[in-house]
């Protein structure tokens, strides 16, 4: 199989192993005692003493330290003590399994190694020379279990309720939580990553993300329910009875039916609506808004408005508030590593799809502020830095990369620049975007060569890797069948066309994978550094406690939202400027960690506000 990683133009020093620290860290492996329920075994492994230094192999002889036996109820105190004593990295099966009970007890940890997430990276990475043993440990392949649906009347778990079953229903998460399995897997992972320092950086960043995901769920996103309801009423009208449509939607539906001359037209069913539209002379093949917008007809404007309101109602209406918001906090479940590229996914309430029109509903507690920041054009900047494309890097100097491309003369308008760049990263071949590709290829040959090579690897069924070594999945068996069929003697033109089309499709996926995935690594590094910078800030002295955020965060700045290239920190007002500085410094840390010395800017759009803006 052809393979192409992201070469990673090096500008200066090699990437250090750990984005969070360069100091030696003792490792403690936590796991259940299989023979005695309620007992946790904690096994210390000291870097240096046990061959755990950067780049080293595992030394089995040193892996003989006797585990400590700790009653489950004593675990938070034990962990807190180790955290106070110095830098520790906790090795555990699954952060979502272990960390909530520590947070509930008011204990935060600085670092962890999430065996489930790290296994997923290592078992797939083409940078692991000999992954056989790791891949054989299939019990670690479990994906994150989706949390059970939250019963409406459920009470929050008691503060010291520590039984595993309190948070994790039996049988839904398959990774082992016992100490024996954890130690064996950890040693496999250390061996697998021994010669791959960038992979170790990725493992540390991924694990930091896992901590942040749990912490953000615990703290919750400050949610102004009254403002949310005001927006709903202003657009939909008063809250309707259960099962009824809001009056604005009913009125719009009547308007559509009248304009169509079809009193029984069913607006909620595309298979029924398309024929109804065609009967009225509107020649559409679907009911998607972009197609509808191309037609002039009195039924179109009210239909588009109806669809927009319907979306607001079903995705984020009154019942969404009842289901997801408690005590002024929205608490989604984040799924780190939920996307093959390394982006996060989420589960529950559509946390990563909060419509921009509802952003003003995010409001800081009294005496607190939100620090919101997003990176301008993260992906093309990551592409410029990864490819070592100095021309694109030069265009990226300053806050608007697209304007820089226009200045360079490659294209003539900002919109053209945007379409050309997005098309290059997504693999567009037709339309405006495809037409502009050759001009981009001429002006930025190194950047384009990187994505073109990734695409060609994918078209041949190969795998590609991000800068730090996350590797794309192989195409599935059906894909391989389609390709094989096309090269058989009796292959028809249809077989060949189908094969070509699916090859191109997979090529677009691998093309985008290297950019999206490396951007996700940049964002994780940003997040990890920001988290440790926030932890170093003092507790608030003047702001009233944000008690809904939990004991750990009631008086301290904390992350509350992360969306691919965007973060929101909830902070006591007195620390807002310090937090803003931390956000900027963390971005510089991320750039330095991934692209040391690279002449590429990563400018932030940052604001200190009481209420988020819709933009």
Compare residues 331 and 343 and give the one whose CB is closer to DNA: 343
Distance between CA 513 and CA 501 in Å, rounded? 18
Q: According to the binding rule CB under 7 A, does residue 270 interact with DNA? A: yes
Q: How far is the CB of 179 from DNA (least distance, A)?
A: 31
Contacts to DNA from residues 315-334, by CB under 7 A: 315, 320
Compare residues 14 and 271 and give the one whose CB is closer to DNA: 271
Compare residues 314 and 492 and give the one whose CB is closer to DNA: 314
Distance between CA 41 and CA 75 in Å, rounded? 10
| Nearest CA-CA partner of 556 in 237, 106, 175 | 106
Distance between CA 181 and CA 159 in Å, rounded? 29
What x-and-dash track marks residues 273-292 binding DNA by CB under 7 A?
-x-----------xxxxx--
Q: How far is the CB of 206 from DNA (least distance, A)?
A: 16
Contacts to DNA from residues 79-138, by CB under 7 A: none
Q: How far is the CB of 439 from DNA (least distance, A)?
A: 14
Q: How far is the CB of 21 from DNA (least distance, A)?
A: 29
Q: Where are the alpha helices (DSSP H) in 125-196?
A: 132-136, 179-193
φ, ψ dihedrals at 342, nearest 5°: 105, -10
CB 301 within 8 A of CB 315: no
Candidates 108, 307, 533, 570; binder of DNA (CB under 7 A) is: 307
Report the side by side order of strands in the sheet with 329-330.
Answer: 221-222, 329-330, 325-326
Q: How far is the CB of 316 from DNA (least distance, A)?
A: 9
Q: How far is the CB of 52 from DNA (least distance, A)?
A: 33
Long-range contacts of 593-596, Cβ-Cβ distance < 8 Å, separation of 24 or more: 593/15, 593/16, 593/19, 593/201, 593/525, 593/529, 594/15, 594/385, 594/467, 594/468, 594/518, 594/521, 594/522, 594/525, 595/11, 595/385, 595/386, 596/10, 596/11, 596/12, 596/13, 596/14, 596/15
Q: What is the CA angle 345-347-352, rounded to 5? A: 55
Q: How far is the CB of 181 from DNA (least distance, A)?
A: 27
Question: Residue 148 burial by CB count (10 A; 0-12/13-18/19+): exposed, middle or buried?
Answer: exposed
Site residue total, DNA (CB under 7 A): 61
Compare residues 198 and 307 and give the one whose CB is closer to DNA: 307
The strand pair at 111-114 and 221-222 is best described as unpaired
Q: What is the CA angle 137-142-143, rounded to 5? A: 145
What x-and-dash track marks residues 422-441 binding DNA by CB under 7 A?
xx--xxxxxxxx--------
Compare residues 233 and 374 and give the one whose CB is closer to DNA: 374
Compare residues 295 and 442 and give the one whose CB is closer to DNA: 295
Distance between CA 134 and CA 140 in Å, rounded? 9
Contacts to DNA from residues 442-481, by CB under 7 A: none
Compare residues 174 and 315 and give the one whose CB is closer to DNA: 315
Compare residues 44 and 340 and give the one whose CB is closer to DNA: 340
Compare residues 279 and 356 and give the one whose CB is closer to DNA: 356
Burial 447-470 (b: 16+ CB within 10 A, else e): bbebbbbbbbbbbbbbbbbbbbbb
CB 478 within 8 A of CB 468: no
Candidates 69, 266, 278, 442; binder of DNA (CB under 7 A) is: 266
Compare residues 180 and 357 and give the one whose CB is closer to DNA: 357
Q: How far is the CB of 354 from DNA (least distance, A)?
A: 6
Compare residues 200 and 511 and give the one whose CB is closer to DNA: 511
Q: Which listed range, 35-43, 95-103, 249-257, 559-567, lies at the site for DNA (CB under 7 A)?
A: 559-567
CB 522 within 8 A of CB 594: yes
Cα 264 from chain centroid? 44
Compare residues 185 and 416 and give the one whose CB is closer to DNA: 416
> Coil, strand, or helix at residue 201?
helix
Candidates 83, 262, 566, 574; binder of DNA (CB under 7 A) is: 566
Question: Residue 8 burial by CB count (10 A; 0-12/13-18/19+): exposed, middle or buried?
Answer: buried
Q: How far is the CB of 283 from DNA (least distance, A)?
A: 14
Q: How far is the CB of 385 from DNA (least distance, A)?
A: 18
Distance between CA 212 and CA 99 in Å, rounded? 10
What x-and-dash track marks residues 213-242 binding DNA by CB under 7 A?
------------------------------
What x-and-dash track marks residues 16-35 binding DNA by CB under 7 A?
--------------------
Q: Which listed range, 78-86, 163-171, 441-449, 501-509, lies at the site for DNA (CB under 7 A)?
A: 501-509
Q: How far is the CB of 423 from DNA (least distance, A)?
A: 4
Q: How far is the CB of 379 from DNA (least distance, A)?
A: 8
CB 548 within 8 A of CB 329: yes
Residues 6 or more apart in contact with residue 233 via CB below 8 angstroms: 239
Candidates 34, 505, 574, 581; binder of DNA (CB under 7 A) is: 505
CB 373 within 8 A of CB 529: no
- Residue listed under structure tokens 């130690």: 183
Q: Which listed range, 88-96, 101-109, 271-279, 402-410, lies at the site for DNA (CB under 7 A)?
A: 271-279
- Reported in sequence order, the residue ranges of 173-265 that DSSP labels E, i.e. its strands, are 221-222
Q: How far is the CB of 302 from DNA (least distance, A)?
A: 13
What x-and-dash track marks residues 337-376 binding DNA by CB under 7 A?
-xxxx-x-xxxxxx-xxxxxx----------------x--
Candidates 82, 239, 297, 308; binder of DNA (CB under 7 A) is: 308
Binding positions for DNA, rule: CB under 7 A: 266, 268-272, 274, 286-290, 294, 307-308, 311, 314-315, 320, 335, 338-341, 343, 345-350, 352-357, 374, 415-416, 419, 422-423, 426-433, 505, 508-509, 512-513, 516, 563-566
């Amino acid at each position: 199989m052809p393979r192409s990683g992201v070469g990673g133009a090096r500008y200066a020093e090699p990437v250090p192993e750990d984005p969070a620290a360069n100091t030696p860290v003792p490792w403690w492996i936590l796991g259940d005692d299989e023979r005695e329920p309620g007992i946790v075994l904690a096994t210390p492994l000291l870097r240096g003493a046990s061959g755990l230094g950067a780049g080293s192999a595992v030394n089995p002889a040193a892996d003989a330290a006797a585990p400590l036996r700790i009653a489950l109820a004593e675990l938070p105190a034990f962990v807190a003590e180790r955290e106070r004593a110095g830098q520790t990295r906790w090795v555990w099966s699954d952060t979502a399994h272990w960390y909530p009970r520590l947070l509930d007890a008011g204990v935060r940890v600085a670092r962890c190694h999430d065996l489930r997430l790290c296994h997923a990276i290592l078992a797939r990475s083409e940078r692991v020379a000999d992954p056989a043993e790791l891949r054989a440990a299939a019990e670690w392949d479990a994906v994150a279990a989706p949390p059970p649906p939250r019963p409406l009347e459920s009470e929050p778990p008691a503060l010291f309720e520590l039984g595993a079953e309190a948070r994790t229903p039996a049988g839904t998460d398959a990774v082992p939580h016992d100490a024996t399995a954890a130690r064996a897997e950890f040693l496999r992972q250390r061996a697998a990553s021994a010669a791959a320092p960038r992979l170790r950086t990725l493992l540390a960043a991924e694990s930091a993300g896992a901590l942040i995901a749990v912490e953000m769920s615990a703290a919750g996103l400050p949610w102004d329910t009254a403002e949310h309801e005001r927006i709903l009423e202003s657009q939909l009208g008063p809250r309707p009875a259960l099962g009824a449509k809001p009056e604005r939607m009913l009125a719009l539906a009547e308007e559509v039916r009248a304009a169509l001359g079809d009193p029984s037209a069913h607006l909620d069913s595309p298979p029924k609506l398309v024929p109804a539209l065609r009967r009225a002379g509107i020649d559409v093949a679907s009911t998607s808004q972009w197609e509808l917008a191309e037609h002039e007809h009195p039924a179109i404007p009210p239909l588009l408005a109806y669809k927009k309101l319907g979306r607001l109602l079903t995705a984020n209406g009154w019942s969404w508030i009842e289901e997801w918001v408690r005590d002024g906090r929205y608490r989604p479940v984040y799924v780190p590593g939920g996307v093959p590229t390394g982006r996060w996914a989420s589960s529950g309430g559509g946390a990563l799809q909060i419509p921009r029109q509802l952003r003003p509903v995010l409001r800081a507690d009294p005496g607190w502020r939100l620090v919101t920041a997003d990176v301008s054009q993260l992906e093309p900047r990551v592409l410029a830095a990864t490819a070592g494309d100095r021309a694109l890097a030069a265009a990226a100097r300053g806050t608007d990369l697209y304007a820089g491309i226009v200045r360079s003369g490659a294209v003539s308008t900002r919109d053209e620049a945007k379409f050309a760049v997005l098309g290059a990263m997504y693999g567009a071949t037709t339309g405006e975007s495809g037409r502009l590709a050759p001009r981009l290829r001429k002006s930025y040959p190194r950047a384009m060569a990187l994505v073109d090579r990734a695409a060609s690897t994918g078209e041949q069924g190969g795998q590609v890797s991000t800068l730090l070594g996350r590797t794309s999945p192989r195409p599935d068996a059906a894909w391989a069948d389609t390709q094989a069929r096309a090269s058989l003697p009796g292959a028809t033109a249809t077989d060949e066309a189908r094969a070509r089309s699916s090859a191109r499709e997979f090529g677009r996926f691998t093309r985008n994978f290297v950019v999206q995935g490396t951007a996700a690594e940049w964002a994780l590094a940003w997040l990890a550094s920001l988290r440790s910078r926030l932890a170093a800030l003092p507790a608030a002295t003047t702001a009233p406690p944000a008690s809904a955020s939990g004991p750990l965060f009631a008086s301290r700045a904390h992350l509350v939202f992360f969306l691919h290239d965007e973060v929101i920190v909830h902070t006591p007002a007195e620390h807002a400027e310090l937090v803003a500085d931390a956000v900027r410094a963390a971005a510089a840390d991320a750039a330095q960690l991934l692209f040391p010395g690279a002449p590429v800017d990563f400018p932030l759009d940052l604001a200190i506000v009481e209420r988020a803006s819709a933009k």
